[in-house]
Structure 1
Amino acid sequence: MPVLFLLIIGAAAGFLATRFMRVEMGTLQTVMIGVAGALIGGMAIRLLLVASGAVAGMIGAVLGAMVVIWVVQKLRS
């Protein structure tokens, strides 16, 4: 099922990409371009999400540590 989904998405992506770029290709080439684009784009998006997730995690960790420091300071005084 995932392969069929990839082919369908690839065909649609290839069709749209060839229309946006004003390039004429055969059906097989259009699907192959779309599948390759879907794979490359999917990896790029996952990399960006991981990177942004790591940054968000770091921000959350710093904020959490600041709260802990604030609580410790309040308990000491």
Structure 2
Amino acid sequence: MPIVWLIVIGAAAGFLATRFMRLNLGTLETVGIGIAGALIGGLIIRFLLVITGMLAGLVGAVLGAMLLLWVWKTYLQK
């Protein structure tokens, strides 16, 4: 099923991309470009989400450490 879904999404993406770019290509070229674009776009999006997820984890860790330091400085330090 994922292969069929990739072909359907690729065909739609290729059709839309050729219309946005004002190109007149055949059906096979349109579907091929759409599938390749779906693969490339999917990899880029996944890569960005992983990097963003790691960065969000770092930011969360720093904020948590700052909160603990503030609590320690305000309430526990004599």
- TM-score in terms of structure 1 length: 0.91
Once the two structures are aligned, what percentage of the paired residues are identical?
64
Q: 1:63, CA displacement in angstroms?
A: 0.6
- Supply the distance in 2 between the matched residues of 1:5 and 1:34 (Cα, whole angstroms): 12
Superposed counterparts of 1:51-66, under 5 Å = 51-66=51-66
Pick which of 15-24 and 65-74 moved more.
Answer: 65-74
Q: Partner of 1:67 in structure 2?
A: 67
Structure 1, gaps ≥5 residues long: none
- Supply the distance in 2 between the matched residues of 1:70 and 1:26 (Cα, whole angstroms): 64
Matched, 1:46 2:56: no
Q: 1:72, CA displacement in angstroms?
A: 2.6
The size of the alignment, in residue pairs, is: 77
Q: C-alpha deviations, 1:19-42, integer Å up to 9, x for none?
A: 111111111111000000000001
Q: Partner of 2:19 in structure 1?
A: 19
- TM-score in terms of structure 2 length: 0.90
Structure 2, gaps ≥5 residues long: none
Q: 1:55, CA displacement in angstroms?
A: 1.3
- Supply the distance in 2 between the matched residues of 1:76 and 1:25 (Cα, whole angstroms): 71
